[in-house]
Structure 1
């Protein structure tokens, strides 16, 4: 794999790694590099975290935003730390807004949505990636 893959090749890596069981991700470093590489082809990213608990969700969000070069998100909502169904956190670094709610879906992990203001910028959403892909 070249040091600087094309956006199309990088996107293929992310599509192939999306929604895998976190334990079956065999090359996490390649996925980390692909996520960060594609960020250079977009203007900003929005993060969606599906986790079992508020604490687990906050840790994942902080690790991902730090890896992408964003400030740590502001204090997040008031959801229960131990929801019986899980928690969903959405963070938009451009607006610095964070939303948190209970989540009853089966998926756990992080969605990364690439956003562009220009026609030649990359747009797309990929994931769910492992909550611990970017360890703090």
Structure 2
């Protein structure tokens, strides 16, 4: 794999619903070199098997900090995915790097399990400095 990552591999936060709890998960922002882009993936997990057979829509936002403010620079979504992550079971957001200067990044993920009412909570990653600016 030819990219730059640091710290923990993923960020996760539990979301309580009427039917139980599921986790909104994302990896940290990483830089791919072929092509040269900032990228992040989002998915969901069902650790307590509360939603067996259910699928969810996952929306991931890639955000860049400029002049002290966060701006969503890319958004990706994937509908009808099973829990667990991995190829085919996650949403991706990416944007091209303009220079190798350090930039400050974060991401947000929102999971909506089909037929399940949950609070409109987005999980936000910690900010990360990467050799990619836009």
Q: How does the TM-score come out when normalised to structure 2?
A: 0.30
More strand by share: 2
Q: How does the TM-score come out when normalised to structure 1?
A: 0.30
Q: Higher RCO, 1 or 2 (CA under 8 Å, sep at least 6)?
A: 1
